Amino acid sequence: MALEMGRVEMWVCAKAFSSSANLGPGYDVLALAHDAYYDVVCVRKSEKTFVSRVTGAYEVPREGNNAIAAAEATLESLGADMGVEIWVHKGVPPGRGLGSSGATAAATVKAIELLLGKALDPNVAVRAAAEGERAATGSAHADNVAASYLGGLVMVMYNPLQVVQLGFPKVKFIVATPWFDVPEGKTGQARRVLPNEVSLSDLVTMTSGALAVVEGLKRGDSSLLARGLEMDPVVTPARSKLIPCYNEVYKAAKDAGALAVTISGAGPSIIILGDEGSAKAVIEKWKSCGIEASYKEVEVAKGASATTPPHV
């Protein structure tokens, strides 16, 4: 019995933070990790790869959990002919535009790296984690996973996937989340509302907007950042229609002094560059529309890293 106990593998765990993708004009390219929420994923060696346990603040399915696809891609990248048993401790609310599946995938990749004592090239690691995104949303876009895996501000290039860590800007902002029921396949819907084509002049606006966001964050220039965050004539206007009372909420935040407001990822959460006064105005406005909402003041988060197993 004692001998058998000795053979039980220990859980090896990693923590990965939530993130906001797009940041206005940086559609599918930019993302920022923040300390609003985090997932912990623990793994141990196993014959096959499966999720044995889900705990934490939010329920997600064990079957088809995107940790599985991320884990399989990671094991393959590491040349490991084995499986892992996975424990997902869910802290990032799913379906709110906060990179929930991305955090799971990033934590899964990092936990397996730690378990095997091997580090992947960041591009390979993010590609593996993006396979989790493909399982979760049908497209292997890598902005959220790159942010949760690398931390800070990141950019992504595709075909082939290449991620660039752009630094850990010192910025405080508000993440506000409405808790109305979102439909199944929300991210897919949020992609379908986008136009297939954009005008050349909108392209120019978005290019300079994305550059302004990055430069504003790097400099800590909130005025430049604010202008950049709102230089999106394409994605934010289209997606704002999926968020109840978005225009009223936007106006309430600006009236309360916010420098900029935009959608976090595919929504419905929003990012507010402003203080708690504007956050409270947003929550009030959503309430008056019949929608419960909450906010967190957040800072930029580090990348996925080792942690201890959660207390449950």
Which parts of this chain interact with a second copy (CB under 8 A)?
25-30, 155-158, 162, 164, 166, 194-200, 203-212, 214-215, 224, 227, 231, 234
98 is in an annotated binding site: yes
CA-to-CA separations, 265 to 29, 37, 136, 269, in angstroms, rounded: 11, 15, 15, 8
Instruction: Answer positive or negative: Cα dihedral of 182, 183, 188, 190.
Output: negative
Coil, strand or helix at 157: strand
Closest approach, Cβ 309 to a second copy, in A, equals 37
Nearer to a second copy, 124 or 198 (CB): 198
Nearer to a second copy, 118 or 219 (CB): 219
Nearer to a second copy, 141 or 285 (CB): 141
Looking at the DSSP assignment, which residues form a beta bridge with residue 50? Answer: 85
97 is in an annotated binding site: yes
99 is in an annotated binding site: yes
Closest approach, Cβ 207 to a second copy, in A, equals 5
100 is in an annotated binding site: yes
Closest approach, Cβ 156 to a second copy, in A, equals 7
Distance in angstroms (rounded) separating the CA atoms of residues 22 and 14: 25
Q: Hunting for tokens 């936990």 — which residue is that?
A: 111
Nearer to a second copy, 78 or 234 (CB): 234
Closest approach, Cβ 127 to a second copy, in A, equals 16
Nearer to a second copy, 25 or 102 (CB): 25
Nearer to a second copy, 52 or 207 (CB): 207
148 is in an annotated binding site: no
239 is in an annotated binding site: no
Do 33 and 18 meet the contact criterion of CB atoms below 8 Å apart?
yes
Which phi and psi (to 5°) does residue 43 adopt?
Answer: -135, 155
Closest approach, Cβ 113 to a second copy, in A, equals 24
Coil, strand or helix at 59: coil
Distance in angstroms (rounded) separating the CA atoms of residues 66 and 71: 9
Closest approach, Cβ 262 to a second copy, in A, equals 15
Do 114 and 11 meet the contact criterion of CB atoms below 8 Å apart?
no
135 is in an annotated binding site: no
298: tokens are 């957040």
| Cα first-last separation, the chain | 26
167 is in an annotated binding site: no
Give the closest residue to 19 by CA, choosing from 220, 226, 266: 266
Closest approach, Cβ 169 to a second copy, in A, equals 14
Do 121 and 6 meet the contact criterion of CB atoms below 8 Å apart?
no
Nearer to a second copy, 227 or 285 (CB): 227
Binding-site sequence positions for ATP: 93-103
Binding-site sequence positions: 93-103
